[in-house]
Amino acid sequence: MSLKETLSLSLPQLGWRPVYQQQLSWDELETTIPARISGHHRSGYICWTENGEIHLDIHAKLPSMTVGDWILLERETHQFIKLLDRQSLFSRKAAGIKSYEQLIASNVDTVFIVSSLNHDFNLSRIERYLALAKEAQVEPVIVLTKADLCDDVDDKKQQVQALNPMLNVECINALSSESCQSLKPWCKIGKTIAFMGSSGVGKSTVVNTLMGSETQQTSGIREQDSKGRHTTTSRSLLSMPSGALLLDTPGMREIQISDCEQGIEEVFADVANLANKCRFSDCKHISEPGCAVLKAIESEELDERRLRNYRKLLAEQARNSESIAERRSKEKDFHKHVKSVMKEIQSREKGY
Ligand SMILES: Nc1nc2c(ncn2[C@@H]2O[C@H](COP(=O)(O)OP(=O)(O)OP(=O)(O)O)[C@@H](O)[C@H]2O)c(=O)[nH]1
Ligand SMILES: [Zn+2]
């Protein structure tokens, strides 16, 4: 482990706040320092502290951790002490397997769900990302890009707003710094932000515009290794000119719906509320008498597309969770098989 020179950010600039501080005992206040995981490599974690960067080697006693996590390190030796409770977590889970959870990102304050206003505009896709954000317990902001290429910006904005009147929806030209100013309220000092959205919608463009001229400097902070050579270490947490922290991992961009029922139920709370009013408690809303959902569609209170997407996402998340579970169990079987073969070889070698 070594302490390296890095951009020196104060604890509040790193996202530290009372909810983490409260988790420290009197003893820990004296003997430990807080550190935030800013990168993850095969051999270890890159941790940011108030006094610079620390590399934490992976060893068996470490819990499963991810970029964005807050941990405590022993003040002098920088030995790992504990992982602090997370405020939010993006992960992939497999249904029925408690121990299997692939962590993607934690302690994100705001996720920008990016969708473009041209031919990629798709309400169902936005709902899918909303479900992921809800499941992770992160505040979503819908960012509709390519406003400069769209003739009916207001109409499309209203369609998105109709998904939920409480939703924050911003329409921008991602190439214009002035236009991106509308995202600034979520990019304040110490706030951790992330981006989701399909390919080509303009995520990198928004990031580059928000980063301004500092992109190069921040995305690959150059540092010297012991021989004085310049090396670049990849980090997934980047400090932005506005003072916010951008959490950008490949996992975040590729995230799929799995074991996300809670998130889906929250995004489609209106459908669930209607379903509660159906005459039969096991109503499938297909052709049953007294179905409140079908009645709402008929009276145009509920968009049929929304019901279709609700069903589709529920089915998809069940399928994805199952396939993760299946793969996991095959992996386990394989490891068991390898172990038993190794045992047999060993006992043969010993001449039993
Ligand atoms: N005119 C205009 N072009 C935009 C806007 N946002 C993005 N673009 C263009 O759209 C293309 C794709 O943008 P990217 O930022 O690479 O999209 P992305 O979401 O990062 O895509 P991936 O990296 O594949 O995930 C680029 O050519 C951008 O210049 C916008 O608001 N207005
Ligand atoms: Zn019904």
Q: Is the CB of 200 under 6 A from ligand 1?
A: yes
Q: Determine which of 146-155, 220-229, 235-244 has the lowest per-residue pLDDT on average.
A: 220-229
How confident is the model at residue 7, as a pLDDT?
62
CA angle 217, 219, 224 (to 5 degrees): 65
Q: Is the CB of 96 under 6 A from ligand 1?
A: no
The residue written with tokens 């304040």 in the block is 188
Nearest to 142 by CA among 55, 125, 337: 125
CA angle 339, 343, 102 (to 5 degrees): 15
The model's pLDDT over 165-183, given as tens digits with 9 standing for 90+, comes to 999 999 999 999 999 999 9
Does the annotation list 15 as a binding residue? Answer: no
Residue 80 above 70 pLDDT? yes
**Best residue among 129, 144, 201, 205 to mutate for probing ligand 1, ranked by most atoms within 8 Å of CB:** 205
For the residues 37-61, what does the mean pLDDT come to? 90
The model's pLDDT over 12-27, given as tens digits with 9 standing for 90+, comes to 999 999 999 999 999 9
The token pair at 198 is: 């399909």
Within 13 Å and on the Cβ side, how many CA atoms surround 4?
Answer: 20
Residue 68 above 50 pLDDT? yes
Residue 186 above 70 pLDDT? yes
Nearest-CA residue for atom 13 of ligand 1? 202
Q: Which carries the bigger pLDDT value, residue 349 or residue 285?
A: 285
How confident is the model at residue 222, as a pLDDT?
39
* Mean of per-residue pLDDT scores for the chain: 86
Q: What does the alpha-carbon distance between residue 7 and residue 320 come to, in Å, rounded to a whole number? A: 40
How confident is the model at residue 94, as a pLDDT?
64
The token pair at 178 is: 């002035």
Q: Is the CB of 174 under 6 A from ligand 1?
A: yes
Does the annotation list 150 as a binding residue? Answer: no
Give the amino acid at 105.
A
Q: Is the CB of 173 under 6 A from ligand 1?
A: yes
Nearest-CA residue for atom 4 of ligand 1? 146
Q: Is the CB of 145 under 6 A from ligand 1?
A: yes
> Rg of the Cα trace of the chain?
24
Q: Is the CB of 269 under 6 A from ligand 1?
A: no
Element (H, E) at 307: helix 304-349
Q: Is the CB of 202 under 6 A from ligand 1?
A: yes
Centre of ligand 2 from the C-alpha of residue 273, in Å: 11
The model's pLDDT over 86-136, given as tens digits with 9 standing for 90+, comes to 999 999 876 665 566 789 999 999 999 999 999 889 999 999 999 999 999
Centre of ligand 2 from the C-alpha of residue 345, in Å: 61
Does the annotation list 204 as a binding residue? Answer: yes
In 137-281, which residue ranges form alpha helices assigned H by DSSP?
A: 153-161, 177-180, 203-211, 215-219, 250-254, 261-267, 269-276
Helix (H, G, I), strand (E, B) or coil at 35: strand
- Give residue 34's pLDDT band: very low, low, confident or very high (50, 70, 90): very high
Centre of ligand 1 from the C-alpha of residue 206, in Å: 8
Q: Are 80 and 73 in contact (CB under 8 A)?
A: yes
Centre of ligand 1 from the C-alpha of residue 215, in Å: 16
For the chain, which domains are there?
3-84 (2.40.50.140), 103-254 (3.40.50.300), 261-349 (1.10.40.50)
Q: Are 100 and 142 in contact (CB under 8 A)?
A: no
Q: What does the alpha-carbon distance between residue 280 and residue 275 come to, in Å, rounded to a whole number? A: 9
- Give residue 254's pLDDT band: very low, low, confident or very high (50, 70, 90): confident
Centre of ligand 1 from the C-alpha of residue 51, in Å: 37
